[in-house]
């Protein structure tokens, strides 16, 4: 792991507050310890929250983020703080889900990234949002997201 890269970590191992907005949040990364092979990293956030931009009411989602690292891996505490910054952020489901993926891809430049956003129903309609950066690598095991369909679906 690069010592210079680790010196830039401002949140890991010390108190860090959740930013007022996702744009103000800092995503941090460390050097990929296995540059010699491809592998999948999964982060699961079953209690993601944001606000409806029309009503201001809370929206809830179960997010599953998979990526195949290149030179960097995402530092998990910074991801938690980034996702937490959405709690008071008003945006539609599609904007939150795709925006999270685009921001992470921009920051760590993975070989491949996919996000599945399973949004809980409001008004009787669950909305699921899926995004990926391209074809998944052929020789990497990419598991299914593993989130059950909403029970009320026919």
Active site residues: 52, 59
- Let me know if 92 is exposed, middle or buried by CB neighbors in 10 A (0-12, 13-18, 19+): middle
Task: Tell me the HSE value of 33 on the side-chain side, using a 13 A CA sphere.
Answer: 6
Tell me the C-alpha distance between 99 and 82, whole Å: 12
Tell me the C-alpha distance between 123 and 10, whole Å: 41
Whats the size of the chain, residue-wise?
154
* C-beta of residue 1 within 8 angstroms of C-beta of residue 34: no
């Amino acid at each position: 792991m690069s010592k210079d890269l680790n010196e830039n970590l401002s949140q890991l191992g010390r108190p860090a507050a959740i930013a007022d907005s996702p744009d103000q949040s800092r995503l941090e990364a460390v050097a990929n310890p296995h540059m010699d092979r491809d592998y999948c990293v999964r982060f699961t956030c079953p209690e993601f929250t944001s606000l409806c931009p029309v009503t201001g009411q809370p929206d809830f989602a179960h997010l599953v983020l998979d990526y195949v690292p290149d030179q960097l891996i995402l530092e998990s505490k910074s991801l938690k703080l980034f996702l937490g910054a959405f709690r008071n952020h008003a945006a539609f489901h599609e904007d939150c889900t795709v925006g999270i993926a685009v921001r992470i891809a921009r920051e760590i430049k993975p070989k491949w990234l996919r996000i599945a956003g399973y949004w809980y129903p409001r008004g009787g309609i669950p909305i699921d949002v899926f995004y990926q950066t391209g074809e998944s690598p052929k020789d990497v095991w990419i598991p299914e997201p593993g989130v059950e369909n909403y029970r009320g679906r026919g």
